[in-house]
Amino acid sequence: MTTRHRFLIVDDHPLFRGALRQVLEGSFPAVVIDEAGTLDEVTALLTRLDDVDLVLLDLAMPGVRGFSGLLLLRAQFPTVPVVVVSATEDPSAMRRTIEFGASGFIPKSLGVEAIRTAVTTVLAGDVWTPPDARLDAIADDEAAAVARRLATLTPQQVRVLMMLSEGLLNKQIAYELTVSEATVKAHVSAILQKLGVESRTQAVIAAARLTNGQTAFAS
């Protein structure tokens, strides 16, 4: 009996979503596929659907900086596996996505068989990266430690941190998130504690690890 799966493709380019849909439908006959072009759309879908087996996420989307979209999804929907699908083939970017909780990394240049293998591997509960990617050669213990701390933030704390990195004041963040300034202050205090830093400036430096290399994520 054919196993039924439900995948969610997240990419702001309809043509690429269509191409990936064709690959997945040809590889998994009983698959149901939903599509999203923004982070808000994927959040709404995952809130409504309770049977998504896998999210295939492009890092380069409007309103998303670096790895922040991945971190938000992992924080808000920790039980749903996320595989990053990206134009970059930079091993350091691949390693960083895994550190931030992705279950795999699929370069957009891969062929049909490799994509099928990658998705099948992740569905089996394993992590998949290109076999020829030498991730161990670029190990960075300090970066990994920061990634682990960033991964403890709640979705709202991630949003606050990214707004801090944009130079927004507490009053501006409160307005954007429709919360009180006191709530923002509480989030900032929690962020500082979780990241093990003493100031907003140090938190912003840590947040830069979310956006470092973002120019490499060309769609």
Helix, strand, coil shares of the chain, percent, nearest 5, are 55, 10, 35
Helices (runs of H) and strands (runs of E) counted in the chain: 10, 5
Asked whether residue 145 falls in the same domain as residue 133, the answer is no
Q: Indicate whether 214 pLDDT > 50.
A: no
Cα pseudo-dihedral 217, 139, 134, 211, rounded to 10: 0
Q: What is the pTM of this model?
A: 0.81
Tokens (6 digits) for 140: 């960075």
Q: Which domain holds residue 155?
A: 141-216
The string of pLDDT tens digits covering residues 4-29 is 899 999 999 999 999 999 999 999 98
Span 137-160, average pLDDT: 78
- Residue that terminates a domain, selected from 137, 152, 175: 137
Q: Measured between alpha carbons, how far apart are the two ends of the chain, in Å?
A: 37
Asked whether residue 159 falls in the same domain as residue 174, the answer is yes
- Residue that terminates a domain, selected from 137, 164, 184: 137
Cα pseudo-dihedral 54, 63, 205, 188, rounded to 10: -90
